[in-house]
Chain A
Amino acid sequence: MSTARERILNAVRANQPASTPLPEIIIPASEIDLSTKFTETLNNIGGKVIAVNNYADILNYLEEATATRLLNISSIPELQQLRTLDHIPRMPHSLQDTELAIIKAKFGVAENGAVWITEDLLDQRVLPFICQHLMVVLDASSIVANMHQAYEKIGMESYGYGAFIAGPSKTADIEQSLVLGAHGSRSMTIFLINA
């Protein structure tokens, strides 16, 4: 007897129509000020942007934050002194009490306020989801206008896991009332470095 795979592929081959070409994506980006648009969009979806000039500014801002229960900083040497976890956790579950996680993003997208993050920037994939609050360090110069430019930038980069994250976790499942902090982080703050 043939396998499910063969049966499915045979049925598809028998039924698929004559081949049509794959269109090129030629979609122009609007002329916008990228940092302004990014900030505006993120504010609209419940995120917050703090403009800074350098890591010293971030350290200043975070002075009080070091008092929080557990602070995880992945892969940002400039902020390692704030880290309260002294090892890289082997099990993702051990991050469950993370109050605040600070991570770096590869770039941001102005049209939707998303930042692109790949696994190499994280201790564990679950970190930006399991923490109560998420802060992201982003270079203003890395912001692109839209998702086409975003994928152009990603290109054929290889990653085990990558994600666009746009704002705090949210739900409106109960009578369409918007509530922040469904299962992921309750807030998302971006440190936008204007260098």
Chain B
Amino acid sequence: MHTIDHAELADVFNKDEARVDWHDETLWWIRQKRDKAVNQLPEWELLRETASKIKENVLSNLAGYLEEFEGNAQKNGIIVHWAADAKEHNQIVLNLLKGKGINKMVKSKSMLTEECHLNEHLEHNGIEVIDSDLGERIVQLAKEPPSHIVLPCIHKKKEEIGDLFHEYLGTPAGNADPQFLTETARQHLREVFLTRRAALTGVNFAVAETGEFVVCTNEGNADMGAHLSEIHIASMGMEKLIPKRENLGVFLRLLTRSATGQPITTYSSHFSKPRSGTEIHVIIVDNGRSQQLGRPDFRNSLKCIRCGSCMNTCPVYRRSGGHSYHNAIAGPIGAILAPNLDMEKYADLPFASTLCGSCSNVCPVKIDIHQQLYKWRQVIVQKGYAATGKKAAMKMMSLTLASPTAYHLGGKAGRFVMKYAPIAVNNKLNPWYKQRDMPEPPKESFGEWYTKNRKA
């Protein structure tokens, strides 16, 4: 069976070079905003280290914290559900809605529901779901998945959004003014918030010691949905737990500075008890997380707080687009989470990286992302899932790195080939050179330069 892989999907994205440049520059601009925010905090590295250690403690005592959270949430009047996989999660949501005779729901951002394909499941069962985050609403109208976990429609031009709004929301043709389009969405979604009896939100953090959970948004859509509905369902990956309320201080300082360079999201809402006459349900979802917890090389990926900064900084993500990862979560972190769920289907993703390490450098919880990508490559090759092209490239790479002679010869041969026969390099065996202009080969290598110059 042939599954479409990252390289092929990246080819599609790379056909429009101007758009690739624009995508690349936009994300880099966000990365720079992150840097500016981070540089204002002399304690940044201490914060990252503390966050990473807190998450380590969480992962090493996860069962206990889950029970503690459940108990405290129940004391607060929250109803707690457990879902072993996506199917169970979707079924729980459906049953809750059906039990109340509800057939329309408003949803705020939740990457977990993307991972579980909740919208499709509910729609098959006659329930309408409207995504209320502006970026998610836009991709929903376009019938596309989000291409980024924080910036769902970062791949879309405003003219395309104007066209979508013209078609679905009746705005004048050709109007692509962000202010005008946002105002239109505000009016349209206000009507939705006021008429929905059920709201679903994600969970950014859940506190074991208090049984509360925190949802962060800039738009205020999670709150509009939750405070106007009679049932609030919060879907939560089980790694979202933190031990204590005071730990929130660490994570809220890191999250948005890493994501967009803001000092905090506009709203950080703490849900502890339902309003009188209404219900809050929390669904704790495993869906492969306990399995990832059992992989010593990859368990750190569960520390992720979904800030998206590893995507913004990734040279491959920036130039291949989120959809090329064919997974709910794109980018470097998506590439280490996905193979855990289906190694064959996502065998290509750990190869969609230059291993430059930029992701690990920006990660606010210090996940060794690029090292995990490298380790996945080895697992995938060993299990026989690697595509032929990548296998050959990998072999070549480990061969050259293992032998200094081969490294020097390989370099020389490579420079020769690039100079005289660039077509030969631009073939299927070299996945990273497709659709890219070959760089000007240096006349001499560092090794040759060094030998010549150290005597001088």
Task: Decide: B60 and A18 in contact? CB cutoff 8 A.
Answer: yes
Q: Could you say which of A159, A169, A179 contacts B272, with CB atoms under 8 Å apart? A: A159
Task: Decide: B245 and A154 in contact? CB cutoff 8 A.
Answer: yes
A111 contacts the other chain (CB 8 A)? yes
A176 contacts the other chain (CB 8 A)? yes
Residue of B nearest to A22 (CB): B57
Task: Decide: B263 and A41 in contact? CB cutoff 8 A.
Answer: yes
Q: Could you say which of B59, B270, B273 contacts A163, with CB atoms under 8 Å apart? A: B270
- Cross-chain pair count, CB within 8 angstroms: 240
Interface string of A165-187 (1 = CB under 8 A from B): 11111111111110101111100
B54 contacts the other chain (CB 8 A)? yes
How far, in angstroms, from A177 to B42 measured CA to CA in the complex? 29
Task: Decide: A166 and B266 in contact? CB cutoff 8 A.
Answer: yes
Q: Which residues of B contact A93 (CB under 8 A)?
A: 194, 228
Task: Decide: A147 and B253 in contact? CB cutoff 8 A.
Answer: yes
Given A8-B286, A160-B273, A176-B29: A182 touches B246 (CB 8 Å cut-off): no
Q: Interface segment, B181-189, B369-377, B389-397?
A: B181-189
B247 contacts the other chain (CB 8 A)? yes
Q: Which residues of B contact A150 (CB under 8 A)?
A: 249
Q: Could you say which of B249, B270, B290 contacts A11, with CB atoms under 8 Å apart? A: B290
Q: Interface segment, A23-31, A50-58, A65-73, A80-88?
A: A23-31
- Give B260-274 interface residues, CB cut-off 8 Å to A: 260, 262-274
Task: Decide: B218 and A19 in contact? CB cutoff 8 A.
Answer: no
Task: Decide: A184 and B266 in contact? CB cutoff 8 A.
Answer: yes
Q: Which residues of B contact A170 (CB under 8 A)?
A: 218-219, 266
Task: Decide: A23 and B82 in contact? CB cutoff 8 A.
Answer: no
**Whole-angstrom distance between the Cβ of B294 and the nearest chain A Cβ:** 3
**Whole-angstrom distance between the Cβ of A49 and the nearest chain B Cβ:** 15
Task: Decide: A12 and B220 in contact? CB cutoff 8 A.
Answer: no
Chain A residues within 8 Å of chain B by Cβ, number:
72
B190 contacts the other chain (CB 8 A)? yes
Task: Decide: B223 and A15 in contact? CB cutoff 8 A.
Answer: no
Task: Decide: B270 and A111 in contact? CB cutoff 8 A.
Answer: no
B166 contacts the other chain (CB 8 A)? no
How far, in angstroms, from A30 to B253 measured CA to CA in the complex? 14
Given A8-B238, A12-B290, A151-B248: A182 touches B221 (CB 8 Å cut-off): yes
B426 contacts the other chain (CB 8 A)? no
**Whole-angstrom distance between the Cβ of A138 and the nearest chain B Cβ:** 16
How far, in angstroms, from A156 to B270 measured CA to CA in the complex? 13
Given A15-B293, A182-B186: A96 touches B194 (CB 8 Å cut-off): yes
Task: Decide: B132 and A183 in contact? CB cutoff 8 A.
Answer: yes
Q: Could you say which of B82, B189, B272, B290 contacts A161, with CB atoms under 8 Å apart? A: B272
How far, in angstroms, from A120 to B227 measured CA to CA in the complex? 15
Interface string of B60-78 (1 = CB under 8 A from A): 1111001100000000000
Task: Decide: B161 and A174 in contact? CB cutoff 8 A.
Answer: yes
- Give A89-121 interface residues, CB cut-off 8 Å to B: 92-93, 96, 109, 111-114
Q: Which residues of B contact A12 (CB under 8 A)?
A: 62-63, 66, 238, 286, 290, 293
Task: Decide: A182 and B271 in contact? CB cutoff 8 A.
Answer: no
Task: Decide: A4 and B262 in contact? CB cutoff 8 A.
Answer: no
Task: Decide: B238 and A182 in contact? CB cutoff 8 A.
Answer: no
- Give B269-303 interface residues, CB cut-off 8 Å to A: 269-275, 284, 286, 290-291, 293-294, 296, 299
Q: Which residues of A contact B193 (CB under 8 A)?
A: 183
Given A173-B133, A176-B26: A147 touches B57 (CB 8 Å cut-off): no
Q: Interface segment, B151-159, B316-324, B354-362, B416-424?
A: B151-159
Q: Which residues of B contact A60 (CB under 8 A)?
A: none
Q: Which residues of B contact A96 (CB under 8 A)?
A: 190, 194
B243 contacts the other chain (CB 8 A)? yes
Task: Decide: B246 and A173 in contact? CB cutoff 8 A.
Answer: no
How far, in angstroms, from A25 to B254 measured CA to CA in the complex? 14
Q: Could you say which of A9, A25, A156 contacts B67, with CB atoms under 8 Å apart? A: A9
Residue of B nearest to A165 (CB): B267
A45 contacts the other chain (CB 8 A)? yes
How far, in angstroms, from A172 to B189 measured CA to CA in the complex? 17
A36 contacts the other chain (CB 8 A)? no
Q: Which residues of B contact A156 (CB under 8 A)?
A: 210, 245
Q: Could you say which of A18, A21, A183 contacts B189, with CB atoms under 8 Å apart? A: A183
Task: Decide: B294 and A20 in contact? CB cutoff 8 A.
Answer: no
Task: Decide: B266 and A169 in contact? CB cutoff 8 A.
Answer: yes
Q: Which residues of B contact A21 (CB under 8 A)?
A: 57
**Whole-angstrom distance between the Cβ of A154 and the nearest chain B Cβ:** 7
A126 contacts the other chain (CB 8 A)? yes
Q: Which residues of B contact A77 (CB under 8 A)?
A: none
Residue of B nearest to A122 (CB): B227
Q: Could you say which of B223, B264, B271, B275 contacts A112, with CB atoms under 8 Å apart? A: B264
Q: Which residues of A contact B265 (CB under 8 A)?
A: 166
Given A124-B227, A129-B220, A173-B135: A3 touches B82 (CB 8 Å cut-off): yes
Task: Decide: B178 and A175 in contact? CB cutoff 8 A.
Answer: yes
Interface residues of A (CB under 8 A from B): 3-5, 7-9, 11-23, 25, 27-28, 30, 41, 45, 92-93, 96, 109, 111-114, 124-126, 129-130, 146-148, 150-152, 154, 156, 158-177, 179, 181-185
In the complex, 15 of the A-B residue pairs with CB atoms within 8 angstroms, ordered by the A residue number, are A13-B63, A16-B63, A16-B293, A19-B60, A19-B61, A21-B57, A25-B246, A111-B253, A130-B228, A146-B249, A156-B245, A166-B267, A171-B134, A175-B26, A182-B134
Interface residues of B (CB under 8 A from A): 26, 29-30, 42-43, 46-47, 50, 53-54, 56-57, 59-63, 66-67, 82-84, 88, 132-135, 138, 151-154, 156-158, 161, 178-179, 181-183, 185-186, 189-190, 193-194, 210, 218-221, 223-224, 226-228, 238, 243-250, 252-253, 260, 262-275, 284, 286, 290-291, 293-294, 296, 299
